[in-house]
Structure 1
Amino acid sequence: MPTAHNGDVSIHYDSTGEGDETVVFVGDVGFGAWQWAWQHRAVAGPFRAIVFDHRGVGRSDAPPGPYSIGDLADDLDAVLADAGVSRAHLVGAGIGGLVALELTHGSGRVRSLALVGCGLGDVDPLGAFAPPDDPAALKSSTEALLSASFRREQPDVIEQIVAWRGEEDASRKIWEAQAAAVEGFEPPPLYEVTTPALVVHGEADAYWPVEGARTLADGLPRGELLSFEAGRLVGVERSRVVNDRLVGLVESESGSES
């Protein structure tokens, strides 16, 4: 697994595929790389796909918090530089969406944005936390991230996510350090972010309310809201249509210099 460096902080990432376009997945507060299993397999064939661990997660370094969105955006920029990526399509979940938004505003590296479960306003970034060594708490937390209909129809998926979370999710200390970045974030002027942006959200998301996603999509000059009857893990519940729209966005902006 390659390593990028932002000062003295090492950030681990994984690169798959050799397509002309590169899609970089930017994760949510405290979650491991498991969160991208449904999107990665749709992207890694036609495009190059990069998944990395935020500082504090997985094999990346865990400097003392609190962190800022600027810190995390600099980590992402270091990953792009180390991977030799001059332009990328960013897919960010929750805090990862804010990081992607920050980097897009501050650089010319980004061709398109997909902001999943991301919004502005009052959010609860710590709401999904559960101790990685407590399977019962992880199961309860995971169930709260999914709609009732999905829980009834696909209990096996819940068990798989619980297992992955036990192996990959961060400690409470890191969740708090990353949550501080969300709470201290001042978004850039949205009218200046002219990159095509797809905002994907679950209408039953209890932690990042859909109203914040509407605000975000409305404020972006080229923003579009795609919402579903789903919980926080909308990319899991609605993976087929989300993946289709994501691939379509990347294809439509391939080679774009705007």
Structure 2
Amino acid sequence: MPTARNRDVSLYYEADGDGPTVVFINDVGYGAWLWGWHYDAVAGPYETVVWDLRGTGRSDAPAGPYDVGTLAADLEAVLADHGVGSAHLVGAGLGGMVALQYAHQYSRARSLTLYCTAGSGDAIDRDALDALALNAPSSLDGAFSPAFREHDPDLMKQIAGWRAEEDATGAARDAQANAMTAFDAPPLYEITQPAEVYYGLDDPVVSPEAAQSLSADLPRGTGEAVEGRHCCFIEHAPAVTDRLLALLDEQTE
């Protein structure tokens, strides 16, 4: 499987499908399982790239500190290694911050789809973020609504298994969380790509007000509320993915 390098850090990624490239960027601690609900719908008409942030999965886990600028440079290394000329960026939480930084600093970004993301680390509830960690009690409570968890307990067990195999833990997860809470967005008025911001109405990590503020400050930004918590884009994956495909089709045309 391919790996890219940013200086001495090896970064694992996978690519599938043909057509314009769509890159998925993980949230704090989460592995590539996060995009399983989107992947099958997008791969085929589009090329998908999924990569493990430093500290996660099969990428290296160097000692911290980490910052969003470094993670954006990691993304640039992945796209350069894969020979991608331009890409649509889809990021959740920390991954959305990486997408914002990348779009401002590098030239390959064509559009942004941001889930449960804020423009400043000051807007992040650190206690709620830490409560999502793999080793935290009831770590899925802040991610999914009670109705979703109770509707399919077998799926919750599957997710727990995927997390045990792929998620960042310990110092690496803390370094990612610190990068998220320390983030200060570049001038948002300079990020002119089409940008859609989706936010959970009951997200304990990123408030609806913080996400709405982000969408309002992006020149071509729109905001959309989604029922659910920090992983509302999984809970309502069919509708959210339809909107993503509509954006991708519009930009491709």
| Consecutive aligned runs of 4 or more in structure 1 exceeding 3 Å deviation | none
| 1:31-70 matched pairs, under 5 angstroms | 31-70=30-69
Q: What residue in structure 2 maps to residue 207 of structure 1?
A: 205
Deviations 1:131-182 (A, max 9, x none): 2xxxxx57x2113311122122222221111111111111121111111211
Q: Does the Cα contact within 8 Å between 1:198 and 1:224 map onto a contact in 2? A: yes
Q: Does the Cα contact within 8 Å between 2:25 and 2:95 map onto a contact in 1? A: yes
Q: Does the Cα contact within 8 Å between 2:226 and 2:233 map onto a contact in 1? A: no
Q: 1:153 aligns with which of 151, 163, 167?
A: 151
TM-score (norm 1): 0.93
Q: What residue in structure 1 maps to residue 108 of structure 2?
A: 109
Q: Does the Cα contact within 8 Å between 2:134 and 2:164 map onto a contact in 1? A: no
Q: Distance in 1 between matches of 2:142 and 2:156?
A: 11
Stretches of structure 2 lacking an aligned partner (at least 5 in a row): none
Q: Does the Cα contact within 8 Å between 2:104 and 2:191 map onto a contact in 1? A: yes
Stretches of structure 1 lacking an aligned partner (at least 5 in a row): 132-136
Q: Distance in 1 between matches of 2:223 and 2:34?
A: 21
Q: 2:241 aligns with which of 220, 230, 243?
A: 243
**Is 1:127 aligned to 2:125, yes or no?**
no
Q: Distance in 1 between matches of 2:60 and 2:173?
A: 14
Q: Distance in 2 between matches of 1:153 and 1:127?
A: 22
Q: Distance in 2 between matches of 1:146 and 1:25?
A: 20
CA RMSD of aligned residues (A): 1.3
Secondary structure of the corresponding residue to residue 204 of structure 2:
coil
Q: Distance in 2 between matches of 1:53 and 1:10?
A: 10
Deviations 1:88-134 (A, max 9, x none): 00000110100010010112211100001111342124231122xxx
Q: Distance in 2 between matches of 1:207 and 1:127?
A: 9
Q: Does the Cα contact within 8 Å between 1:39 and 1:235 map onto a contact in 2? A: no
**Is 1:30 aligned to 2:29, yes or no?**
yes
Secondary structure of the corresponding residue to residue 172 of structure 2:
helix
Q: Does the Cα contact within 8 Å between 1:127 and 1:207 map onto a contact in 2? A: no
Q: What residue in structure 2 maps to residue 233 of structure 1?
A: 231
Q: Does the Cα contact within 8 Å between 1:70 and 1:102 map onto a contact in 2? A: yes
Q: Distance in 2 between matches of 1:16 and 1:58?
A: 18
Q: 1:221 aligns with which of 216, 219, 222?
A: 219
Q: Distance in 2 between matches of 1:31 and 1:40?
A: 15
Q: Distance in 1 between matches of 2:39 and 2:208?
A: 24
Q: What residue in structure 2 maps to residue 252 of structure 1?
A: 250
Q: Distance in 2 between matches of 1:66 and 1:82?
A: 24
Q: Distance in 1 between matches of 2:170 and 2:212?
A: 30
Deviations 1:20-49 (A, max 9, x none): x10000000111111010011111121000
Q: Identify the range of structure 1 (172-181 vs 90-99) with the bigger mean alpha-carbon deviation.
A: 172-181
Q: Does the Cα contact within 8 Å between 1:143 and 1:158 map onto a contact in 2? A: no
What is the total number of aligned residue pairs between the two structures?
A: 248
What displacement does 1:76 show? 0.1
